[in-house]
Amino acid sequence: MHVCPSPLRLQMPHFPRKGQSLSTPIKPLTHAHIPTPPTPTTPQFFSELPFHLISPLVLGTIVYWMARLRPEFDRYLAFMGIITLESIAAVALGMAISSVSSSAEVAAVLANPISVVMLISGGFYISIQSLPAAARWVADLSLMKWSFQALVVNEFENTTLTCTSRDKNCFATGAEAIADIGFAGSTVGDGAAGLVVLIIALNFIAYTIMRYNKPRYQALVPPVLVSPSSAPSVAASGSGSN
């Protein structure tokens, strides 16, 4: 039985782009009162992360035991760990898509084809080996592929399968099933490492783009202060001219 990765969850926040005005104008009085607009990637990512993890963790726990997957507790922990990393990667992907979008509608339009490509190249619907050789690199950019790979290995690794006379295509071991899907020689750690790399890369892309597109303000020249010692000389020059 295949283990299906959890659905892709994207968040599409919209931030002011370069050249757009903020809803609340900032009045630049002095240098001390001019705020530096922060890039919202890090605070928003971590503040909303618990809410993005609650649903997949609860759903993953229910599905795991209802589907009667491997009863070992360490396999269950690995399953939940992969689901968690996949959810974090999906949030990071949503941040990256929103950073290049001018509105929430544009972000939603961009998310649909990207999600379809990730699903097709994830190995769940078609084998990665059946993809054209020139397009197999796309699978390495799919968070679906890395999560599905880790979940398949976590379920079938070191197992013996039972075949009956009614089974036309039956594998004697879990290793044969893993190889048939296209993940021969893979480990759970490989899938987890791939997800971690995607999380770091997508957040870096979102941070870089939003730093470049952050609102920009005209620089102010600091005021010239007249020291008290120079005041008498200024007064004397004024009286001498009279």
What is the secondary structure of 110-139 as a DSSP string?
A: HHHHHHHHHHHTTTSSS-GGGS-GGGGGGG
The per-residue pLDDT for 182 is 84
Residue 69 lies in a domain: yes
Is the confidence at residue 34, as pLDDT, over 70?
A: no
Point out the least confidently predicted range of 17-31, 96-110, 145-159, 163-177: 17-31
Q: What is the pLDDT of residue 10?
A: 43
Confidence at residue 43, expressed as pLDDT on a 0 to 100 scale: 67
Model pLDDT for residues 79-102, shown as the tens digit of each residue = 999 999 998 999 889 888 988 888
Evaluate whether residue 87 is within a structural domain: yes
Which of 113-117, 150-154, 167-171, 196-200 shows the lowest per-residue confidence on average (mean pLDDT)? Answer: 167-171
In a domain, 128, yes or no: yes
Please check whether residue 167 is in contact with residue 193, taking contact to mean a CB–CB distance below 8 angstroms.
Answer: no
Q: Kindly state the tokens that stand for 45.
A: 């990512």
Give the model's pLDDT for residue 125.
84
Mean pLDDT of the 145-168 span: 87
236 found inside a domain? yes
Residue 11 lies in a domain: no
10 vs 170, residue with greater confidence? 170
Q: Which residue has the higher pLDDT, 193 or 221?
A: 193
Number of domains in the chain: 1
Tell me the C-alpha distance between 196 and 178, whole Å. Answer: 22
Domain extent at residue 229: 36-241
In a domain, residue 167? The reply is yes
Q: Cα–Cα distances in Å, from 209 out to 38, 88, 95, 111?
A: 13, 19, 10, 17
Is 8 within a domain? no
Q: Is 76 a member of any domain?
A: yes
The pLDDT, as a whole number, for residue 94 is 87
Tokens 């990207």 belong to residue: 114
Highest mean pLDDT, choosing among 72-76, 168-172, 211-215? 72-76
SS3 11: coil
Residue 115: which of 140, 144, 138 has the closest Cα? 144
Q: What is the mean pLDDT of residues 191-220?
A: 87
What's this model's pTM, rounded to 2 decimal places?
A: 0.71
SS3 173: strand
In angstroms, the CA 101 to CA 210 distance is: 10
* 35-70 pLDDT per residue, tens: 444 444 566 667 777 777 788 889 889 999 999 999
pLDDT of residue 210: 84
At how many degrees (to 10) do helices 73-99 and 143-156 cross? 180
